[in-house]
Chains A and B, each alone.
Chain A
Amino acid sequence: MCLAIPMQVVAIDGGSDEVLDPQVALVESDGVRKAIRLEMADRLPTVGEYVIIHAGFAIRTLTAEEAEYNLELMRKMVDMLDQDGGPAGAVR
């Protein structure tokens, strides 16, 4: 099951053993911390950045600004639709 919400990295942990203690990004959701593998990430996140996750692996790293920007895009689109129906391709 895919999850489309970016999750904020609260810590980088592990790294002492490749299999039993791999380097992971810890993300927090509803007070529960989850360890996310980083092998597949397009780039390694730092604390405070966001990751999009698939099956326990980060598949995309976003800066906090990028994560916020996406939500802002949605809001802008709504504003634009409210005004005039908006141009084709307003959703990027």
Chain B
Amino acid sequence: MNLAEGFRSREVTAPLVAEIARSLERPIRIMEVCGTHTMSIFRHGIRSLLPEGITLLSGPGCPVCVTPASQIDAMLAAADREEVTIATFGDLVRVPGSDRSLAGARARGARVEIVYSPMDALALAQREPERLVLFPAIGFETTAPAIAATILAAERTGIANFAVIEANKTMPQALAALMDDPLLKVDGLLCPGHVSAIIGSRAYGPLAERHRLACAVAGFEPADILAGLLSLIRRINAGEPGVENCYTRAVAEEGNVRARHLIEQVFEPVASEWRGLGAIAASGLRLKKQYRRFDGLARLGIAVRPTQEPKGCRCGEILKGRLLPPDCPLYGTACTPMRPVGPCMVSNEGTCAAYYRYIGVTDIPVSLKRRDECV
């Protein structure tokens, strides 16, 4: 049985597209919060299937993109240490800090290894006991439990040369801060699938209520996304704010209690700096007191210092849904996937990378150029 075929087949998606076109009563603006949604929407050409009245904005759901340059600089300072190996998810290595990236540091001799899971970083530490292996803890609620499980495994197995660089972020607080922005006009949120698998669909209840928002939790296949959009349109039409779970195969109303328990065992909430959004109270995770010895930067005596974001880079406004990539003066000229200036052009899940890959520079549809609509 191939389940993927079912969620992608035209037989399933075509009637959804038709119903979306039939249902749309007025122009609406929907933010897709998650970077994987952004990429999937482009990859499957979903924008071109939707009626003109639906504007899709990308939100702050690409973990690498929302990590500020100051934190990248601290990782670079760690990478410069003789004894340190940085073991990281691949999309981080090309993200520029204030003057270079981890890839640049590696070219000049730093040890930077790409791993697919924090557990791989721990295994590397076990194989190379003379190195201090640091895993940059980038990611949201879906990645944090994996990192917590890795820290617990390091503790149980007594592997002392493994630590993390604290950088995890949590989504509801950032969404709340974003929705408080009077300049951002959004009718509905397409809520991230796998963050919701951990925090549960009911985590968006307060947000929906406070801002009278339509929210739909959706998976990443075309049928999932279209079903999510349809749910949002119907709620918006009916004037019924609330949360609809369109991704029941992964998301329970109460979320994944076991995974949340892992987070709570190892981490506690802390104020966190988001690229573009600034500092947001209780939107980050730091190690609890009993696990502070896994704080890699503290172990090396490295502090995160405020720094300038790359000059001319508009990633911050793109992450807030205020601008679309073609509105950035660097897009496609000074900033391309080959030579990225900002993180949104680097990551697989970055909005600019998705635009560049699937729309390009010369062929920007008129509907995407209406700058007045995206402020």
Contact = CB atoms under 8 A, between A and B. Distances in A.
B230 A91 contact: yes
Interface centre among A8, A57, A86 (most CB of B within 10 A): A57
Contacts of B246: 91-92
B284 interface: no
A73 B234 CA distance: 18
B146 A37 contact: yes
B258 A74 contact: no
B248 A57 contact: no
A81 B3 contact: no
B12 A5 contact: no
Contacts of A9: none
Interface band, chain B = 35 or more
B272 interface: no
B227 interface: yes
Interface string B247-279: 111111000111100100000000000000000
Nearest to B255: A42
Interface residues of A, number: 43
A40 interface: yes
A71 B8 CA distance: 11
Contacts of B42: none
B233 to A, nearest CB: 10
Given A39-B262, A91-B227, A59 B142 contact: yes
B258 to A, nearest CB: 6
B58 interface: no
Interface stretch (B114-122, B289-297, B307-315, B316-324): B114-122
Interface centre among A20, A40, A68, A92 (most CB of B within 10 A): A40
A18 B244 CA distance: 39
B213 to A, nearest CB: 16
Nearest to B143: A55
B119 A4 contact: no
Interface in A52-68: 52, 54-57, 59-60, 62, 66-68
B248 A73 contact: yes
A77 interface: yes
A60 B3 contact: no
Given A2-B34, A4-B250, A56-B116, A78 B12 contact: yes
B73 interface: no
A91 B12 CA distance: 13
A90 B24 CA distance: 17
Contacts of A71: 3, 6-7
B234 A89 contact: yes
A3 interface: yes
A11 interface: no
A13 to B, nearest CB: 15
Interface of B: 1, 3-4, 6-7, 11-12, 15-16, 18-19, 22-23, 34, 36, 39, 89, 116-117, 119, 122-123, 126, 139, 142-143, 145-146, 149, 153, 156-157, 159, 193-194, 197-198, 219-221, 223-224, 227-228, 230-231, 234-235, 237-238, 240, 244-252, 256-259, 262, 348-349
Given A2-B36, A67-B3, 6 more contacts: A5-B7, A19-B153, A19-B157, A40-B256, A40-B262, A52-B194
